[in-house]
Every structure is written in C-alpha cells, then in structure tokens.
Amino acid sequence: MWRTSRNCWPRPSGGTPNWRPWRPAPDTPATPTPTGGPRNPTRWRRPCPHPCRVRTVPTRPALRRSPTGTPEVPGAVAAGSGDGILVVDKPSGMTSHDVVARVRRLVGTRRVGHAGTLDPMATGVLVLGVNRGTRLLSYLVGADKEYHAVVRLGAATTTDDADGEWLPVTDPAATEAALAVLTAGGRPAIVAATAALTGPIEQVPSAVSAIKVAGVRSYARVRAGQEVELPARAVTVHRFEVGEPASATAHARRVVDVPIEVVVSSGTYVRALARDLGAALGVGGHLIALRRRRVGAFGLECAHRLDDLAERAGLAGAGGSGGADSRPVPLLALGEAAALVLPTRVLDAGEAGELRHGRSIAADPQRRGGPVAGLGQGGELIAVLTEDGEAARPRAVFAPAAPGRADTEAGNPLGVLESS
C-alpha cells in the first residue's frame, strides 16, 4: 500500500541498509522542508522509493466502541450481545482462549472472559462472562468442579496426560504382574488406593501447568528443557469414584484403562490425581480423557456447542458473516447468574438508588460478611455487597446510575477480568 507524502524522511525501525543520518554542513543554513518547517538535523533520510510516495505498513483498524462504551470487534457480528453469562461445551483441540476469541466474534464485543482454564485435550463446561458478566467470573473461580476422566495405568508420561512422552519403566516384570492382577478384577485395589487421594490432601501440581515460577509459566520452562519442581498445595477431593477397569494395549504394552468421576475444589489437577493413583499402585499412570461436567451451579445441561451458537448467530463458521436470520446468543442474565453463585438480598427502590451511585446502605442484621448479590425488585443485579454488621458496602456496582452512564466498580471503574 502506498500513500502520497511530501516528507520522505521517516526514521527507520532498525539497522536498515541505505539509511543514513542527514546532517547539514556547519556553514549551511537550515533549509525548510517541503512542509515549511526547518529540517531536524537528527532525522534520518533515504532516497524516496518513488517521487513523493512512501511505502506504508497496514495498521490494525481502530477499536470501535458501542454507545455504552463497550469495545467492539472490528467486522464482528452484533448478534444480540448484552451482559450475562454464557456456558460453552468446549470441544477437544481448542484452548480456552480459542473459545473466548470465537465467542467474541459471535457476540460482537471484546469484553469476554472465562472462569477457569481447560486443557486443549479436555472437553466440557467452560463458563464465559460477556461485558459486565466478566465481573461475576471472580466469584466463580473458587467454585467446586466435577469431572469424568479416564486414567491409563501402566505408563507415566512427561506431562501426566496423553500429550506427553512415555517414561521408561524401571521394572517391566513387576509392572506386568501388577497390571495382570488389576485386569483380573483388581477394582478393589484401585478403590483402596483412592482413599489416600480423597478429602483434604497436599497435591504437587503437574510440572506442565500454567503456574508461574519466577514470573515464567511452568510449562514454558519445561518446554525449554528446564527441570521444574512445584511445591505441594492444599486441595480437597470431595468425591473419587472408580469404574470397572478394562485391559488395553498401547505402544505395544499392556495397560489398564480406568474410568473415574471426581468432584474437586478449585486448583486441583486431575492429571496429578491420575499420576498419583498410578504411583500408589506401583505401575505409573496418566490421563487420557477428561470432561468437565460442572462448575459450581453450571452444568452440561445448560452448556451450548460452539457450532450451535454460530448457527444461531447466523454465521457459516468462525470467519463467516451474519445473516438476516441471526438470533441473539443465549446469555444468562446477570441477576439469574448471581443468584446461582451468591446468596441474595432483595433491595427496595431507595437502597437500589444508593447502590447505583456507589454509596453504602444499612446492613441486614441477619447477615454478616459477603459477598452478597443485591437484586432489584425485578430481579436485576444492582451490586455485589459486603455486609460488615453496620453497613452494606458495594464491592461492584452493575446497574448504571443513570441511563447511558457506564457501570462503575468501587475503587475500579469498568473493572474487567482479563481473559487468558
């Protein structure tokens, strides 16, 4: 792309050949540029590639904003985007950020985030916040999660899942004998091994994880060839159920595949549970399948497939354009979502008006602590409160103070939980 210019002396970005600093001779008076001003002796000059024409680099288009101040995706389809929660059934092979990027196009806004990363191999529930719904995600991050998974006993891997390389077996004969016992009705032995992995435990996360070590993601250090040792962290495994083991063959070796169902606290790595279960049985283990069934109150029954959302929005695909029959993407309203996540308090008109302006209201004597979702008479979410015994103070205000005014958050205007 070319643009006409009368000034052909832009500064180069680096050591580009044929660029040289222009400096006038000491006795040469400053000469005006074609635009009328004196030349700056520190500017860089090169011959114009074409008379009065300079090569330019295409730039990213400026980010548009809707009338409410919400950033919009250039060229996106405004398929009824609003404020709320969207539950997606993530397909295998996509990262959580890939899902966020696609939903941004579907709803026509960049203000989309998720509450809890799923590995590319995993499928299932991924909770997304849209526009003001992103500010509810921080109250979902600590929710318990339910998974269905398949553990492969008989081999450990570098990543504790099927994407890693198999580690060598130290004692093949002993491993083969133990697998033969597990194949011939060894479910009781597997169930007994899960007892030490149930309840409050200290778990060492998988080295290939997003945990930062000295500011660098652990998985990045592992990929760079570094050895990473992560400290154990306190987690809770509320339920650990084992299905019937099945014998299989992989990499020309006997293995045993065991289906499991677990309900765990936030921060628990199911890959690490598979690794530790195999270690407890003395045969090694890793995860070969993972499906998240529930995050807090949001389960698969309310999850939407990405292809269905694209069809609903009138898109032929991720890069398609909207049709005339496009319908709004189904978002769960903020009030309904907050009622599923937090205890609620119904506000009268006066209390709602005070909270809309970020002011405290009288505390509910029967409540203390927080957070609490303050709902209007119509069920709309006004604010998230903290009850301290004397006053109920707004932690985040969701309802605008006046029509057209952007939402505010106490101490953090327009706070958005960034996506990853």
Q: Which two tokens stand for residue 253?
A: 């070796």
3-state secondary structure 28-46: CCCCECCCCCECCCCCEEC
DSSP string, 267-315: T--HHHHHHHHHHHHTS-EEEEEEEEEEETTEEGGG-B-HHHHHHHTT-
Q: Which residue among the candidates 119, 160, 161, 407 is catalytic per the annotation? A: 119
| 122, 138: one domain | yes
Answer whether residue 179 is part of any domain: yes
Q: Respond yes or no: is residue 98 known to be catalytic.
A: no
Query: Residue 351: which CATH number?
Result: 2.30.130.10
Pick the last residue of a domain from 263, 295, 327: 295
Domains of the chain: total:
4
* Residue 245 and residue 159 share a domain: yes
Is residue 350 one of the residues assigned to a domain?
yes
The one-letter amino acid at 329: V
Q: What angle do CA 278, 280, 284 make, to 5 degrees?
A: 25
Q: How far apart are CA 44 and CA 30, in angstroms?
A: 15
Residue 180 lies in a domain: yes
* Within a domain: 70: yes
In a shared domain, residues 47 and 157: no
| 84 plus 174 within the same structural domain | no
Residue 390 in any domain: the answer is yes
Same domain, 284 and 186: yes
Same domain, yes or no: 287 and 381 = no
The residues, ordered by sequence, that sit 6+ positions from 255 with a Cβ below 8 Å of its Cβ are 152, 153, 154, 155, 179, 247, 248, 249
Indicate if 168 and 277 belong to the same structural domain. Answer: yes
Residue 308 is assigned to a structural domain of this protein: yes
- Same-domain check for residues 155 and 277: yes
155 and 272 share one domain: yes
The b/e string for 24-42 (b: 16+ C-beta within 10 A; e otherwise) is: eeeeeeeeeeeeeeebeee
The rounded radius of gyration (Å) of the Cα atoms in the chain is 29
Whether residue 180 is found in the same domain as residue 190:
yes
Owning domain of residue 181 = 145-295
In a domain, 417, yes or no: no
Tell me, what CATH number does 75's domain have? 3.30.2350.10
Mark whether 236 and 371 lie in a shared domain: no
Indicate if 181 and 254 belong to the same structural domain.
Answer: yes
Question: Which of 295, 322, 350 delimits the end of a domain?
Answer: 295
pLDDT tens series, the chain, 420 aa: 444 444 444 444 444 444 444 455 555 555 554 445 444 444 444 544 544 443 333 333 444 444 444 444 443 333 445 899 999 999 999 999 999 999 999 888 899 999 988 989 999 999 999 999 999 999 888 899 999 999 999 999 988 999 889 999 888 888 888 888 888 877 999 999 999 999 999 999 988 888 888 888 888 888 788 888 899 999 999 999 999 999 999 988 899 999 999 999 999 999 999 999 999 999 999 999 999 999 999 999 999 999 999 888 775 444 444 444 456 788 999 999 999 999 999 999 999 999 999 999 998 877 777 799 999 999 999 999 998 778 889 999 998 876 444 444 444 433 333 333
Distance CA 342, CA 136 (A): 10
Model-level pTM? 0.74
Judge whether 172 lies within some domain: yes
